[in-house]
Amino acid sequence: MFRTVKLSLLAAAAALAFGAPSASAVETLNTVTALPTQHTLSQSYIKHFVEPLNKAGKGVIQIKLLGGPEVTPADRAPQAMQRGVIDVLFTPAAYVAGVVPEAQAMMLQTVGIDALHENGAFKTYDDVFSKRLNAHLLAWSETGEGSGYYLYTTKKPPMKDGVIDLSGMSMRTTGAYRPLEEALNATTVQIPSGDVPTGLQRGVIDGFGWPTVGLKSIGLADSVKYRVEPAFYHLADVVLISNRTWNGLSDKAKKILTDTAREYEKTSVQEIIDRNKDDIAAGDKAGVKPITMTGEAGDKYLSIANDAMWNRVTDKIGKDELKSLRGMLDKTK
């Protein structure tokens, strides 16, 4: 008996000496943003997720921001998360569409974040991300009417049947914009967001798609001449955590993460609405002129955008899965 107790004490002492984790140790995660950290959307993530989490998680869980694409390029960030190089990733949903084709449909939701949680859409996407990326969906940051994406150009595109025609123009693209740009006959060019200013200066691209926020923060307001309206789709950004990291957390840490994520989904909406106004003002000040399609022309433009994206998603995942997703995402269906 004495020998057993003695060995147990020695084992405990050895564990402490070699730094074995204790039950009370603070769990520290690292995170990167797929967008540059100065981008408005990244700043919203930092302000409404990272900072509140570190405040609420004192003594339990903390998160360290490593940086943006300069740390892990956006197109490699999902794989880095899979490998355990990073724990938490903030990214536009479109950036992971190559691995998670269902992610593109997130931009087409029209029901709002509360309904997405209530009708099973959030859980469905959590399962999708787990299957395809081995990741848990922590937060889905979305916006309502008026906040989505614009097309910006350096030259005025002509109109064809009441809608802009991008024939002969090279447009920087991502999964968020490619379906519409191609439907409008543009030549698409995929370059990192940080290379857009140089691409414009060198004439590699004639324009780009961009969220309704972030133009000012990334310094692009002086680089374009036209903004195409109305805005299309809805902003869709996600906060993902690798399943390996998530499964290793304590229940208390998981609750703090989840509670912070739910609050971030709400506070980020108003942040984007406010910053949207800032971007429009900065563009107006820089002389960016709106090309606005209204009435039937505006409806046609948005219809082209929506149909192009739904068709792209259908090609990737099939009609049956699409029907199920669309029923949860689109209030008009």
CA distance 15 to 71: 34
Q: In this predicted structure, which of 14-23, 68-77, 130-139, 278-287 has the lowest mean pLDDT?
A: 14-23
For every residue of 244-265, DSSP letters joined together read HHHHTS-HHHHHHHHHHHHHHH
Pick the CATH number of 149-234+284-328 from 1.25.40.420, 3.30.460.20, 3.40.50.620, 3.40.190.170: 3.40.190.170
For the segment 114-153, what is each residue's pLDDT rounded down to a tens digit? 999 999 999 999 999 999 999 999 999 987 555 789 999 9
Q: What is the pLDDT of residue 264?
A: 96
For the segment 294-331, what is each residue's pLDDT rounded down to a tens digit? 999 999 999 999 999 998 888 888 778 878 888 899 87
For residue 104, is pLDDT > 60?
yes
Select, from the ranges 52-56, 216-220, 227-231, the one with the highest average predicted confidence (pLDDT).
52-56
- Name the superfamily (CATH) of residues 24-143+235-274: Bacterial extracellular solute-binding protein, family 7 (3.40.190.170)
Residue ranges of the domains in the chain? 24-143+235-274, 149-234+284-328
Helix (H, G, I), strand (E, B) or coil at 73: coil
Fold equal for 24-143+235-274 and 149-234+284-328: yes
Q: Please, what is the average pLDDT of the chain? A: 88
For residue 240, is pLDDT > 60?
yes
CA distance 23 to 282: 51
**C-alpha distances out from residue 24 to 63, 243, 325, Å:** 17, 22, 42
- pTM, two decimal places: 0.83
